[in-house]
Amino acid sequence: MSQVILITGASSGFGLMSAKALAEAGHTVYASMRQLHGRNAALASELADWSAEHGQDLRTVELDVQDEESVAQAVQQVLAESGRLDVIVHNAGHMVFGPAEAFTPEQLAAQYDVNVLGTQRLNRAALPYLRRQGKGLVLWVGSSSTRGGTPPFLAPYFAAKAAMDALAVSYAAELSRFGIESTIMVPGAFTKGTNHFAHSGKPADAEVEAAYLQGPYRGVAEQALSGLAALEPADADPAEVARKLVEVVGMPHGSRPFRVHVDPSQDGAEVVNMVADRVRREIYQAMKLTDLLSPKR
């Protein structure tokens, strides 16, 4: 069944791949991004041409997850044009790389603003409609770093992704009685085929950064990045995240998995999440709230 889908951060990486894959699966997809009439104008034009050429319903919409008004306007545009909204995909994110101490508090706040508060802004704009509708799907694109192996110099990103995962877990239970389903997608560290590492931000405090990178941690950054790349199988394909996302959206309501791992490097997140999610189920059973573990039908 065709769904109306709004996906954040769809100008590149997993977001762009997923937007195209979902449109090819027959859904109406709103690929949201910032600066549609600025730096992303050419991309918006390319996607319009792609949609027409392939006969798919892929549209672009202006949405800045750091701007509450922008988020609200995007949701209203989707509703005005399509008459409904079935799926929201929290994909927008930004990575930074460097010693944790060298990042200012303001830089950490910016990480949380994009990766955590951005999801809250969209939820507050979209969930009132989904709750009234009595049905929907919230898809969170997380990271294996929240519970898997955590190489050095990615602390602000890891911390923000862990916060988003915790938020997603709580939301899942709190939305279930409204008939809203939740799935957390858990990609591994794909070092090729996305722009995550290429576009990662740097610490603002160059002096502290140098104390690490030119001191006892000289060479560790290069070793961490090359080590991650070496763990990744040669045939690792980031488009697999998009394919799994399409599978989840296409499943019957009430049958979707709580968590889906796409981690060719197998950094251990799947093992740890299995235990964490089992404990979650057991505590809900002990509280006699097992109905919160699946959406009301």
pLDDT recorded at residue 238:
84
Per-residue pLDDT band for 97 (boundaries 50, 70, 90) equals very high
pTM: 0.93
Q: What would the pLDDT profile of 164-204 be if each residue is shown by its tens digit?
A: 999 999 999 999 999 999 999 999 877 665 555 556 889 99
Q: Is 30 a catalytic residue?
A: no
Sign for the CA dihedral angle at 185, 78, 64, 56 comes to: positive
* pLDDT of 88: 98
How many angstroms separate the CA atoms of 155 and 231, rounded?
A: 20
State the pLDDT at residue 197. Answer: 59
Tell me the per-residue pLDDT of 101-131, one tens digit each, with 9 for 90 and over. Answer: 999 999 999 999 999 999 999 999 999 999 9
Query: Exposed/middle/buried for 196, CB within 10 Å: 0-12, 13-18, 19+?
Result: buried
Q: Which residues contact 35 (CB under 8 A, 6 or more apart)?
A: 41, 62
What pLDDT digit, counting tens, does each position of 202-229 carry? Answer: 999 999 999 999 999 999 999 988 888 7
Q: Which of 30, 112, 129, 157 is catalytic?
A: 157
Report the Cα–Cα distance between both ends of the chain, in Å, rounded: 17
Give pLDDT tens digits for 44-87. Answer: 999 999 999 999 999 999 999 999 999 999 999 999 999 999 99
